[in-house]
Amino acid sequence: MRLARKFTLALVLLAVAVISGLQYFQVRRELERSALDMQHDHRLLGHTLAGAIGKAWQLAGEREALTLLHQSNRFQEQVHLRWVWLDGGPGTPPLEGFPPRLLATLREGQDGSMVDPSPEPGLLHSYTPVIINNQRLGAIEITESLGDQQQHVRTIVVGTIAATAAITLAFLITAMAMGRRLVGDPVDRLVTLAHRIGQGDLTARVPLPQKHADELTTLASAMNRMGEQLEETRSRLASETAARLSAVEHLRHADRLTTVGKLASGVAHELGTPLNVVMGRAKMISSGEAEGEEVGECAQIISQQAQHMTGIIRQLLDFARRRAPHRAPEEVHGLVERSLTLLRPMASKRSVALEAQIPDGMSLEVDGGQVQQVLTNLVMNGLQAMKRPGTLRVRAAEVRATPPAEEGGAEANYVRLDVEDEGDGIPPEVLPHVFEPFFTTKDVGEGTGLGLSVSYGLVRDHGGWIGVRSEPGRGSCFSVYLPRGGN
């Protein structure tokens, strides 16, 4: 039930209770007044007849007095008159069931009355004592049916109920109209405002009259101010988020360019061999040393070597190019091979073999460039950690894992990419800090301390994380967990 209806119902119930109480006491007073009026009329009639009967008894005797009493019944339609003896002498009717207290009151010369409920709707008996010849005690009994009184009571009750119902109905209509105007409509507007704000419409406002300010108007003003503040906060957050994302993207691109710089010497060495082949074949053609079919063969070799060099340069440029993040299905094997291709010259200079163990058909929905940047950073760190010849392995497997506590989340299916080197390992006191920005154990000029931090951020953006285990003197293994199918 809505607030306005509850408020109206409470007021109506309170009003009904008050009106019903007042009407109840009014009916009670009417009943008491009616009973007193009836008893007063009986007493007045009894005393009027008592004087006449007493004189008639004294002057004409018992018979004439009782005849006078019986004749009086002809003129009374509502009451019945009867003579009773109260002294127990001759002619006294049986008094069984007569209230002793009433009998004692009458014998003291005082009026009395009683109600006999046995015959419906009940009878009122009133008694006026009369002393005959200063010897015997009798009483005039006045009997009247309570039917008229009950009919009067019913009339009063029906009228009271009708009046109460009319007052209640009028009060209900007035309370509903006032409750709707003063409570219902303002609350509906506030609820609508709250729903719109909850749905993200922070421009919503609720107009309420300021002429008669009340608590609801104060609440509306507070909610309007809240909407304005939320809108300002959202705009500020959007601006700050955009700036932060731009800074993060600049940082990631800077890290990518740093990696490109480290790869440049290896790529230059990689280009040396095909360039020497091209120069040698070109000299053979220009000097006339190659004749006939050899010229075509030399041209074909030059074309092949040029395509090979173009491919190497395109790979390096693709890795360095800034582009918007875009997730798409990617074969894990292709991602790993593209990363290792750029790093093979560096690995060759360090006498390190790069080995990939990737199951066929394994795919992920990721941003290929970002994942390639992560793998490149991890493999490059592994190569720099290997001071002697060895093998660096990249493996992939489907696993079911639970994210770390700081990441949160339930157990799910992941693709795990392991980059395992045979370097010197990471000291235990350093291991907890490897993903912190600008943390590095390398010599000045050899690293910025951003590679692992940027990589962790890229993986987290994909809904995954990076784990690391290391044993000093036996190498390290960085494990990249990416959701199966992407998030």
Give percent above pLDDT 70 in the chain.
Answer: 80
pLDDT digits (tens, 9 = 90+) for 364-381: 999 888 888 889 889 988
pLDDT of 487:
42
Question: Is residue 415 included in any domain, yes or no?
Answer: yes
Show the 3-state SS of the chain.
Answer: CCHHHHHHHHHHHHHHHHHHHHHHHHHHHHHHHHHHHHHHHHHHHHHHHHHHHHHHHHHHCHHHHHHHHHHHHHHCCCEEEEEEECCCCCCCCCCCCCCHHHHHHHHCCCCEEEEECCCCCCEEEEEEEEEECCCEEEEEEEEEECHHHHHHHHHHHHHHHHHHHHHHHHHHHHHHHHHHHHHHHHHHHHHHHHHHHHCCCCCCCCCCCCCCCCHHHHHHHHHHHHHHHHHHHHHHHHHHHHHHHHHHHHHHHHHHHHHHHHHHHHHHHHHHHHHHHHHHHHHHHHCCCCCCHHHHHHHHHHHHHHHHHHHHHHHHHHHHCCCCCCCEEEEHHHHHHHHHHHHHHHHHHCCEEEEEECCCCCEEEECHHHHHHHHHHHHHHHHHHCCCCEEEEEEEEEEEECCCCCCCCCCEEEEEEEEECCCCCCCCCCHHHCCCCCCCCCCCCCCCCCHHHHHHHHHHHCCCEEEEEEECCCEEEEEEEEECCCC
472: left (phi over 0), alpha (psi -120 to 50) or beta: beta
pLDDT of 211:
60
- Whether residue 138 is predicted with pLDDT greater than 60 in this model: the reply is yes
For residue 379, give the CATH number of its domain.
Answer: 3.30.565.10
Question: Is residue 174 included in any domain, yes or no?
Answer: no
Q: Are residues 357 and 418 in the same domain?
A: yes
Q: Domain containing 260: what range?
A: 212-322
Q: Are residues 311 and 340 in the same domain?
A: no
Q: Are residues 348 and 464 in the same domain?
A: yes
User: Residues near 179 by Cβ (< 8 Å), separated by ≥ 6?
Assistant: 4, 5, 7, 8, 11
The residue from 294, 322, 350 where one domain ends is: 322
Question: Is residue 428 included in any domain, yes or no?
Answer: yes
pLDDT digits (tens, 9 = 90+) for 37-95: 888 888 888 888 888 888 888 888 888 888 888 888 777 778 888 888 877 656 555 56
Residues 282/302, Cβ–Cβ less than 8 Å: yes
pLDDT digits (tens, 9 = 90+) for 457-483: 888 888 999 999 998 888 999 999 999
The residue from 289, 322, 355 where one domain ends is: 322
Q: Are residues 411 and 469 in the same domain?
A: yes
Give the mean pLDDT of 272-282. Answer: 68
For residue 311, give the CATH number of its domain.
Answer: 1.10.287.130
pLDDT of 70:
83
pLDDT of 394:
95
Task: Please state which of the ranges 106-110, 269-273, 451-455 shows the lowest mean pLDDT.
Answer: 269-273
pLDDT of 93:
59
Question: Is residue 204 included in any domain, yes or no?
Answer: no
Q: Are residues 486 and 339 in the same domain?
A: yes
User: Residues near 371 by Cβ (< 8 Å), separated by ≥ 6?
Assistant: 330, 335, 364, 458, 462, 482
Question: Is residue 218 included in any domain, yes or no?
Answer: yes
Per-residue pLDDT band for 325 (boundaries 50, 70, 90) equals: low
Question: Is residue 172 included in any domain, yes or no?
Answer: no
Question: How many structural domains compose the chain?
Answer: 3
pLDDT of 220:
78
Per-residue pLDDT band for 416 (boundaries 50, 70, 90) equals: very high
Q: Are residues 17 and 148 in the same domain?
A: yes
30 or 477: which leads in pLDDT = 477
pLDDT of 38:
82
Q: Torsion angle of alpha carbons 166, 168, 172, 175, nearest 10°? A: 120
Task: Please state which of the ranges 114-123, 248-257, 361-370, 439-448 shows the lowest mean pLDDT.
Answer: 439-448
Q: Are residues 220 and 128 in the same domain?
A: no
Question: Is residue 184 included in any domain, yes or no?
Answer: no
Q: Are residues 318 and 336 in the same domain?
A: no
pLDDT digits (tens, 9 = 90+) for 100-124: 888 888 888 888 888 888 778 788 8
Residues 469/432, Cβ–Cβ less than 8 Å: no
Q: Are residues 402 and 482 in the same domain?
A: yes
The residue from 322, 343, 363 where one domain ends is: 322
Q: Are residues 137 and 50 in the same domain?
A: yes
> Closest by alpha carbon to 306, among 279, 333, 340, 339?
279
Q: Are residues 18 and 94 in the same domain?
A: yes
Report the range out of 2-6, 249-253, 434-438 with the highest average pLDDT.
434-438
User: From CA 442, how far away is CA 349, in angstroms rounded?
Assistant: 19
Q: Which two tokens stand for residue 415?
A: 């693709």
pLDDT of 1:
44
- Whether residue 486 is predicted with pLDDT greater than 60 in this model: the reply is no
Q: Are residues 281 and 338 in the same domain?
A: no
Question: Is residue 9 included in any domain, yes or no?
Answer: yes
